Amino acid sequence: MTESSPGGGTDSADSAASAASAADTAGTAGTAGIGRARWARFARHFAETLAAMLVGMLVLGTALRVLLAALGLEYSRAAHPEAAYAEMAGAMAAGMAAWMRLRGHGRTVTLTMTAAMFAPAVVLFPLTWLGVLSGTALATAAHAAMPPVMLLVMLRHRAEFLS
């Protein structure tokens, strides 16, 4: 796999996905006509991504909490819901990104999917600051918002996930 060059080039997975996307839209006017088997692969990619996020949250999140406790840097999730969100989203994103790169996905789509983990904060943090959401409600809303945001990213880059 060819990696990005300092001049801003993309790796081969990104290039292949772009070419496949152009072929998909040119030949089928979007998603019409794409075979059932390709959409099954798309669904499998989505499920794998969710599983990798869960593993990241459980394994990396737990490891981070243990490390913070050992360093005396524990914090109250109730008192600092934003930090708890960043910790959770970061652990989930790290697990997901590692899995995506292992599966051969390009940097662009991997970084975009990683950003999807943090996107709900744009709406949810201000609601928490205004007292509309509690820390628990922030975590619940974030968990509910992440999969649809990821699905939008995957649909945007569908050629990479359909192949």
Write out pLDDT tens, residues 44-65: 999 999 999 999 999 999 999 9
- Which residues, given as ranges, of the chain have pLDDT below 70? 1-34
Write out pLDDT tens, residues 21-37: 444 444 444 555 568 88
So what's the pLDDT on residue 28? Answer: 46
So what's the pLDDT on residue 33? Answer: 55
Model's pTM, two decimal places?
A: 0.74
What DSSP string runs through 20-86? HHHHHHHHHSSSTT--HHHHHHHHHHHHHHHHHHHHIIIIIHHHHHHHHHHTT----TTT-HHHHHH
Extents of the domains making up the chain = 36-162
So what's the pLDDT on residue 11? Answer: 52
So what's the pLDDT on residue 24? Answer: 45
**134's tokens:** 């509690």
So what's the pLDDT on residue 4? Answer: 43
Cβ distance 121 to 85 under 8 Å?
yes
